[in-house]
């Protein structure tokens, strides 16, 4: 059984990826510091897969702890690196925290991965690396614009760190998955997006408002140059996204990569405005959502949706779920955890 390390494996995307890895027969080791996740997620993973991953609570900013972990797990054949702070708005308020957490931990991880017998690394990147792209849909060849937020900048710099390392360390094989906006939950309703405190992302705020936990949803900006004045994003079901990580990992394990650093957009190829996402929620839930318009939020781009042709043809992956599918699963998850 091949052992795969998933950092941030109890987080939203990480936990769904662990499920898909275990379903494919991999042995999984999870590192998570539980700063933005819950140990209860581990129970959900076990309940879905019937198998318990190894779990170690560890702060990846502690370099010595990272070194000690890899001394114990020398048989790891691949790493999927999710662990990072991820909220655009928060990164604007706390830039140094984001640079410390997202870049230092990446460097510590890469140093240890290079000491393994096989150095396969999947990086959790983001469409934020494109900044405000000049053309839609966005291809992997789109010029990288100045980042609109410290979070986006950490993903740009993160990719540069990996690319520079791959140039001199040819034994390192890496793929950066630039994904768009993950939403939804596992169909079992046993794992999903579980933000601590006030949600930083749109969909959990929508479902929490629908469940009565929030009085009103703020829509940041209604004067963008879009059809309805609200921002446009490419919303991808988290299970589709999780499966993309497994496909990318298999590409490296099977040595099918063309170069030792590759990038792929992971999205649906469909852009949806904030108001369209609200309408989707109202459609699948049968509930009317209370929302109001608020001033634009610093760090938000106008529009971002993917050209997924490279992922479809080269990686052999395609998103299978649409917006309503993802919103329905997100609402079912919300109802499940709130006992509605």
Residues known to be catalytic = 151
Sign (positive or negative) of CA dihedral 33, 151, 161, 304: positive
Quickly list DSSP for 290-329: -EEEE---TT--SEE-B--HHIIIII-------HHHHHHH
Region for 221 from its dihedrals, namely left if φ exceeds 0, alpha if ψ lies in -120 to 50, beta otherwise: left
Q: What's CA 91's distance to the chain center, in Å? A: 16
- Quote the distance between the C-alpha of residue 248 and its chain's center: 14
DSSP, res 130: G
User: Tokens representing 221?
Assistant: 């900006």
Start-to-end Cα distance in the chain: 40
Element (H, E) at 146: none
Contact 88, 149 (CB under 8 A): yes
Angle at 119 between CA 115 and CA 125, to 5 degrees: 120
């Amino acid at each position: 059984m091949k052992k795969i390390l998933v950092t941030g494996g109890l987080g939203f995307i990480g936990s769904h990826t662990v499920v898909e890895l275990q379903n494919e027969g991999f042995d999984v080791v999870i590192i998570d510091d539980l700063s933005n996740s819950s140990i209860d997620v581990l129970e959900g993973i076990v309940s879905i897969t019937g198998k318990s991953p190894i779990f170690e609570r560890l702060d990846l900013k502690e370099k010595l702890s990272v070194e000690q972990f890899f001394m114990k797990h020398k048989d790891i054949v691949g790493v999927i690196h999710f662990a990072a702070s991820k909220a655009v708005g928060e990164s604007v308020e706390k830039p140094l925290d984001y640079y410390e957490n997202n870049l230092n931990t990446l460097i510590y991880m890469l140093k240890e991965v290079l000491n393994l017998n096989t150095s396969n690394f999947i990086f959790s990147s983001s469409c934020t690396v494109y900044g405000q792209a000049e053309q839609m849909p966005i291809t992997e060849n789109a010029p990288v614009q100045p980042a609109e937020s410290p979070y986006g900048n950490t993903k740009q710099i993160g990719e540069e760190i990996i690319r520079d390392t791959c140039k001199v360390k040819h034994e390192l094989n890496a793929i950066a998955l630039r994904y768009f906006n993950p939403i939804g939950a596992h169909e079992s309703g046993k794992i999903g997006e579980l933000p601590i405190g006030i949600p930083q992302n749109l969909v959990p705020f929508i479902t929490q408002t629908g469940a009565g936990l929030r009085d009103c949803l703020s829509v940041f900006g209604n004067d963008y140059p879009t059809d309805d004045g609200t921002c446009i994003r490419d919303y991808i079901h988290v299970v589709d996204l999780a499966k993309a990580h497994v496909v990318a990992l298999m590409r490296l394990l099977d040595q099918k990569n063309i170069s030792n650093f590759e990038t792929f957009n992971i999205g649906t190829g469909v852009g949806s405005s904030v108001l369209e996402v609200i309408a989707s929620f109202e459609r699948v839930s049968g509930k009317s959502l209370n929302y109001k318009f608020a001033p634009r939020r610093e760090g938000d781009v106008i529009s971002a949706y993917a050209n997924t042709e490279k992922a479809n043809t080269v990686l052999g992956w395609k998103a299978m779920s649409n917006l309503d599918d993802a919103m329905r699963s997100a609402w079912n998850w919300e109802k499940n955890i709130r006992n509605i």
